[in-house]
A and B are shown apart, each in its own frame.
Chain A
């Protein structure tokens, strides 16, 4: 089983729609979680961290379920500019006081006019 798994998509949604992405992780020792965004032919950039209690940033809501080892990202009122690939990222302790990030393959979103 891969350490971080995502549905690759693509998700094609109309403007204004609500879309949800899911991610599962296999290592129960994982300690922190993120969503990154990657635009076409660009490098990935941090979208938001994911907190245990769930967190919201404008139209974006991230949730974590540690028992099920599951992370989600909800985008409300989709905009054309939301079209990108969304990467799920997991951080775990790797020994010697260090942490290692593992990236999922990403889910591609296309918002259609």
Chain B
């Protein structure tokens, strides 16, 4: 596609339910990032995938959060047993990380509201 695509754009879920957020990166981009941004706050790093290497999961806030990237392309971020503090915009970005100096492109995000 022309850019990074995220779905759904908005998600309202009940506390305790599981949710899956999807990210379609730019074709050919080997690096994929997930970030979380609460209202009025900065980007919070969650996880980073680079090609076939083991992902950097150092930003995942708890074991309720997990992510996978199938076939080096589409990524899914899963939040189990959602809590109200999980409400935020979840942003995905991709880049061609084999080239120094290349930029990352962001999707428009998924706005998650836990009620």
Residues of B within 8 Å of A8, CB to CB, are 42
Majority DSSP secondary structure for residues of A touching B: strand
Interface residues of A in 44-86 (CB under 8 A from B): 44-46, 49, 85
Chain B residues 18-74 with CB under 8 Å of chain A are 30-31, 33, 35, 41-43, 45, 48, 50-51, 53, 56
Contacts of A93 in B (CB 8 A): 100
Count CB-based A-B contacts (< 8 Å): 69
- The answer to whether A44 and B43 have CB atoms under 8 Å apart is yes
Residue of A nearest to B39 (CB): A41
CB distance from B83 to the nearest CB of A (A): 22
Task: Tell me the bound Cα distance from A100 to B58 in angstroms.
Answer: 13
Number of B interface residues, CB 8 Å? 28
* Cα A33 to Cα B53 with chains together (Å): 24
Q: B-contacting residues of A (Cβ < 8 Å)?
A: 8, 31-32, 34, 42-46, 49, 85, 87, 89, 91, 93-106
Q: Which 4 A-B pairs have the closest CB atoms?
A: A105-B42, A43-B106, A98-B50, A46-B103
